[in-house]
Structure 1
Amino acid sequence: MKLNRKNILIILLLLAGIGIFAAFAMNRKAPTQYYTAKVDHGDIRQVVDATGTINAVTTVQVGSQVSGTISKLFADFNSHVKKGQVVAQIDPSLLEGTLSQTQADLENARANLAASHANTEKAKATATQTKADYERNLALTKEGVVSQQALDLAKANADSAQAQVSAAQAQEVQARAQVAQTNLNYTTIHAPIDGTVVARNVDVGQTVAASLQAPTLFTIAQDLTKMQVYAKTDESDVGQIRSGQRVTFKVDAYPRDTFSGKVSQVRMNSTVVQNVVTYDTIVDFDNPDLKLFPGMTAYVTIPVASAPNVIKIPNGALRYKP
């Protein structure tokens, strides 16, 4: 079917009208909306927010200075221990055998030393008597013949040297015996401080090797009623933090509670993670109810500036978004 001119004109007019309507709709702006806020009087403050970890003030790792098998454990997680208390025992059988053998060697060395001293004293007495006889019979000694006195003196010197060797050997064995006794004493592990066991790293029957470094058997926190938060503070904020500033923080375990503490120091040693530099801000706080545990995450708020009784407006009123 062929379209006449009139129909074509109508179609073109319709298309033009649709285009004009679409262009008008796209260019029409939404009505401007205005938001209002009440201007108020009150106190304002500037704060530094940081995230940190709760730690005990003093934590000591208890290690072993000898290798062996753990035969007994006398402390576990959360155990309260006193300084000097036995917390573990390493099987002493091997070291007891070493000590017994060394003590036997020591007794033998002492006997040899006593015999050497006796021979030395006897040789010295013989040499003294021979010297006296030699002086009385000097005229009878033939030229070129070694005197009996010289022989006896040489023997006395040899016996004296042997006695010195025996004495040195006895001292060496004595030192080995002392080392063996010390190592045997090391098989009994004692708590170095009063505190609470927060970590136990061994079980009965486990072998520990102290050849390179002392293995850690326990970790003891000295006093959990006084603790610290190590708050990672951005380098841009540390200039506003001073010792003695009051701090508040929250933990996930008690979301409704707010805890307080005080800044004790900002440590100068930096930490760099993905080009972000932070410093540890140490916050001291009391924990009398033992509610907070080592390792908990703390969300710290440090007030660094404040202004009392000033006009307050929302931060959004100071921003313009075209």
Structure 2
Amino acid sequence: MRRYFLHRYFEFSLFLLLPLLGCSREQAAKGAPTVAKEQSIAITVAPVEAREVQRRVDVVGTLEADDEVTVYGQVSGSVERILVDLGDRVMAGQPLLQLDQADLQLQVGKAEAILRQTRTRLGALDGRDILPDDQQPVVRQARANSDDAALWYERMQSLYKEGAVSRNDLDTALAKSHALKAAFDGAISQVRALADQLREQQAALDLARRNLQYTVIRAPIDGSIKERNVSTGQYIAGGTMQNTKLLILVRDDPLKLKASVPERFQGQIRPGQEVKVQVEAYLGREFIGTAKRVGPAVFTDTRTFPIEARVPNHKGLLKPGSFAKARIQIRVDRGIPFVPEEAVYYFVGITKAFVVKDGVAQERQITVGERQDGLVEIVEGLQPGEQVATSHLSQLFDGARVQVVGNK
């Protein structure tokens, strides 16, 4: 019985002591931060640097040929020779195809013969110039005959007045004068008609010669052969609505980059700005171009506006139709604060840094921007020249005493 009462007494005593032990522990726990605050935390620091930042806009787009031309024939005929093929580079005016020339050569010969006959009738042999209408031999002869008849009529009038000739003779002289005058006018008209005919025949000859030249199909622009759609011996239709498509040429130096820019950047994109282009075929390599055109309106479905940039392609490395990423340099900002990445602390959605001044850490909420070379741009919250902690950030708090043991 005595042991039973001793055991109950011991349990009752423990029950009374437990709250006292709990209070002692709470006081010890509350006293711990006070002790920690009084201790200095060893940290390293780094200065907030002022840097130059090139502001840019990243876009995607497509590289297109500066110009693309589909080549058709201007005359019909059979393909006699093909002088170029897919991928060949050509210069403007360079022969691409040649058609059979036999029929057109005959047309030229016929037109030359007809023209030569007319020139002979007009007295322009051996390439001599055509005489004026009143100097043509037929006109001069007709004028002489008409003048003689007019003089003879005047003489017959005098003789008739003297009674030397009859009335019938006078009428005969008058009729002859009128006839020869009409012959003179007819000679003038005939020469003029021949001159008009000559001009028409010259035009026909020029057309035949031009069509003969068209049998050699030449490159309209400098560029490369994108497609060949014709074969040797094939008959092609030219000069009609059903023209045969022969070749497609593209001018691939320079190329055009067509891209869309988000509307928030309107007013910041201008012709003349530098554009750096990358394609998957040359990863890590940049091709430098220049913005040339900026669209005047925003597309309502995408909330973007179009731009065009010119990209030099002297070596032909870039291909039209390629997908491209581009970075447009819009401006350069100077004196922008940057800190090492280690100086930025992220905690429950808050971004902050600790400015160190006179051995005390000051907490600052910051807004970060771009990253470059291991540094982070500070959009808001820090100024160049300040010192920021770069180690033990999880142990720091506003007002913590720190000891600088090194620089970053």
TM-score (norm 2): 0.56
Contact 1:53 1:296 in 2 (8 A): yes
Q: CA–CA distance in 2 between the matches of 1:270 and 1:66? A: 44
Encode CA deviations 1:42-93: one digit per residue, 9 max, x unaligned.
Answer: 8787653332222344555544333333321111122233443322112223
Instruction: Give the structure 1 partner of residue 105 of structure 2.
Output: 96
Instruction: Using the TM superposition, give the Cα deviation of residue 122 of structure 1 relative to its aligned residue in structure 2, in angstroms.
Output: 1.9
Encode CA deviations 1:8-38: one digit per residue, 9 max, x unaligned.
Answer: xxxxxxxxxxxxxxxxxxxxxxxxxxxxxxx
Change (3 A) 1:289 1:188: closer
Q: CA–CA distance in 2 between the matches of 1:50 and 1:219? A: 30
Instruction: Using the TM superposition, give the Cα deviation of residue 177 of structure 1 relative to its aligned residue in structure 2, in angstroms.
Output: 1.0
Matches within 5 A, 1:151-166: 151-166=179-194
Instruction: Give the structure 2 partner of residue 299 of structure 1.
Output: 325
Change (3 A) 1:277 1:172: farther
Instruction: Give the structure 1 partner of residue 316 of structure 2.
Output: 290
Encode CA deviations 1:252-299: one digit per residue, 9 max, x unaligned.
Answer: 323x32424243323336696x84465442233344543221221112
Matches within 5 A, 1:247-266: 247-254=275-282, 256-266=283-293
AA of the residue aligned to 1:98: Q
Gaps of 5+ in 1: 1-40
Instruction: Give the structure 1 partner of residue 147 of structure 2.
Output: 128
Q: Structure 1 residue 267 and structure 2 residue 294: aligned? A: yes
Contact 1:84 1:190 in 2 (8 A): yes
Matches within 5 A, 1:88-237: 88-114=97-123, 117-140=136-159, 142=167, 145=171, 146-204=174-232, 205-212=234-241, 217-222=246-251, 224=253, 226-237=254-265
Q: CA–CA distance in 1 between the matches of 2:114 and 2:297? A: 56
Instruction: Using the TM superposition, give the Cα deviation of residue 101 of structure 1 relative to its aligned residue in structure 2, in angstroms.
Output: 2.6
Q: Structure 1 residue 78 and structure 2 residue 87: aligned? A: yes
Instruction: Using the TM superposition, give the Cα deviation of residue 189 of structure 1 relative to its aligned residue in structure 2, in angstroms.
Output: 1.9
Q: CA–CA distance in 1 between the matches of 2:111 and 2:304? A: 56
Q: Structure 1 residue 68 and structure 2 residue 83: aligned? A: no
Q: CA–CA distance in 2 between the matches of 1:196 and 1:148? A: 76
AA of the residue aligned to 2:107: T
2:61 to 52, 59, 62: 52
Contact 1:248 1:258 in 2 (8 A): no
Gaps of 5+ in 2: 1-47, 125-132, 161-166, 351-408
Instruction: Give the structure 2 partner of residue 3 of structure 1.
Output: none
Q: CA–CA distance in 2 between the matches of 1:82 and 1:281? A: 29
AA of the residue aligned to 1:108: Q
Change (3 A) 1:243 1:114: closer
What SS does the aligned partner of 2:277 have?
A: strand
Q: CA–CA distance in 1 between the matches of 2:298 and 2:143? A: 74
Instruction: Give the structure 2 partner of residue 309 of structure 1.
Output: 337
More relative contact order, 1 or 2 (CA 8 Å, 6+ apart): 1
Encode CA deviations 1:177-236: one digit per residue, 9 max, x unaligned.
Answer: 111111111211223454433333433315133224976644444564x43322233444
Instruction: Using the TM superposition, give the Cα deviation of residue 176 of structure 1 relative to its aligned residue in structure 2, in angstroms.
Output: 0.9
What SS does the aligned partner of 1:295 have?
A: coil
Contact 1:51 1:298 in 2 (8 A): yes
Instruction: Give the structure 1 partner of residue 267 of structure 2.
Output: 239
Q: CA–CA distance in 2 between the matches of 1:97 and 1:242? A: 59
Instruction: Using the TM superposition, give the Cα deviation of residue 158 of structure 1 relative to its aligned residue in structure 2, in angstroms.
Output: 1.4
Q: CA–CA distance in 2 between the matches of 1:164 and 1:313? A: 101
Equivalent pairs: percent with the same residue?
A: 26
Change (3 A) 1:278 1:64: farther
Change (3 A) 1:313 1:46: farther
Instruction: Give the structure 1 partner of residue 362 of structure 2.
Output: none
Aligned residue pairs total 276
Q: Indicate the RMSD between aligned Cα atoms, in angstroms.
A: 3.8
Structure ID, larger Rg: 2
